[in-house]
Amino acid sequence: MLKPDNHQRRQNLSKRPENLAPLSGSKSMNAKVESIMHPILRRFLPILLLCGLFIINMAPDAEALTRCGDCQYPVASDALTCPKCLRKLKWPIIPERSRSARVVVRTGSDAFIRHPHARVRQYRDDRNSGDDQIGHIGSWGGPTTLRYLLRFDIPRAFAMAQVDMKGFNVRRALLKLCVADHGQYAGLPIRIYLLTRPFAEGTGIAGVREQDHDGCDWYHSAPLMVWHREGGDYAEKPSIPAILGEDGENETIIDITELIRARFDEYEKTGIWNDPGLLIMRDVSRYGYRGYVTIYSLEASFIGQSVRSPELFIH
């Protein structure tokens, strides 16, 4: 038998009020907490959302990467120059168009080449000059000893303009060249031809004798690659005549529609874009002219905000 004290204690425990039961106490506590937290959350929820959005906006964005078009080295999408090959990737300041067109081409490669008879006497050097901001076209020690090779990156310009090259009908193509120094004569007759072999631009500068020859010159389209014709391989027809810097003008616009249309016609037939570039030299059929004109090259794109480098406007 149970002792009286223990029996009495058990009866007292069985008669405890309902409000002191363990389950009912926890429920009442949760209800009180919810009644307190609900208005707090309702009041501070907008503030918490704003804080979350602020933290997301302040978080550093992942750096977008692209690749250099020449050496394929990965670079930041906003980089101006490739850190490996030091090629220009984009304009530091995008200038306004000097003319309107469906596609404006401002990038590519170019080089000035000179015959050994036209070498700079002070340096006695007629090797590659692919990294100069200015160069010469005309006569010096011969009728066409100073020539200019120019290749525009037309596919890249069409891609940036979101225009499909396939089936594109070239109605008009204008080449703009800017003159840095007119020389002694007002205007130089030139003729523009289509190159039949590509050239290596190189990084040479006139007057600087580099140990390694890395670009084209009068005899070579690239190191160890000889031109079939000295001074550049080009097609005789079609060709475009023009006057460079006529009457002291600093800007010359030349209609080269026939040349650009020939490239697009070949692309339409073969499905392969093959554009070695243009060859610009003095027009030997025009007598009575001599000397040379100094023009800006594609490397001159970093000189100020105005466009002095060559441009191609395609309509």
pLDDT tens-digit profile of 53-64?
777 666 555 556
Q: Is the pLDDT of residue 198 over 70?
A: yes
Average pLDDT of the residues in 227-243: 94
Return the pLDDT at 2. 46
Least confident residue range of 115-129, 152-166, 214-228, 233-247: 115-129
Mean pLDDT to the nearest integer, 171-185: 88
Q: Residue 133: is its pLDDT beyond 80?
A: yes
Q: Which residues contact 132 (CB under 8 A, 6 or more apart)?
A: 112, 205, 206, 297, 299
Between residues 60 and 83, which one has the greater pLDDT? 83
> Average per-residue pLDDT in the chain?
80
pLDDT top residue among 252 and 7: 252
Which of residues 120 and 145 earns the better pLDDT score? 145
Residue 83 — very low, low, confident or very high, per pLDDT cuts 50/70/90?
confident
Banded model confidence at residue 202, pLDDT cuts 50, 70, 90: confident
Point out the least confidently predicted range of 8-17, 83-92, 232-241. Answer: 8-17
Q: Which of 82, 92, 140 is nearest to 112 (CA)?
A: 140
Q: Which of 117, 95, 93 is nearest to 104 (CA)?
A: 95
pLDDT class of 239 with cuts at 50, 70, 90: very high
pLDDT > 60? residue 17: no
Q: Given this model, what pLDDT does residue 186 score? A: 73
pLDDT over threshold 60, residue 107: yes
Torsion angle defined by CA atoms of residues 184, 187, 190 and 192, in that order, rounded to the nearest 10 degrees: 120
Rounded average pLDDT over 71-89: 74
Q: What is the pLDDT of residue 23?
A: 47
Residue 11 above 50 pLDDT? Answer: yes
Q: Summarize the confidence of residues 238-262 as an average pLDDT.
A: 91
- Mean pLDDT of the region 142-153: 93
Angstrom distance (rounded) from CA 258 to CA 275: 14
Place of tokens 């020859």: 213
Higher pLDDT, 276 or 126: 276
Count CB-CB contacts under 10 A for residue 37: 10
For residues 100-114, give the mean pLDDT.
87
Per-residue pLDDT, averaged over 223-239, amounts to 93
Alpha-carbon distance of 222 to 289, in angstroms, equals 31
* Per-residue pLDDT at 21: 47
Residues present in the chain in total? 315
In whole angstroms, give the CA distance from residue 218 to residue 231.
5
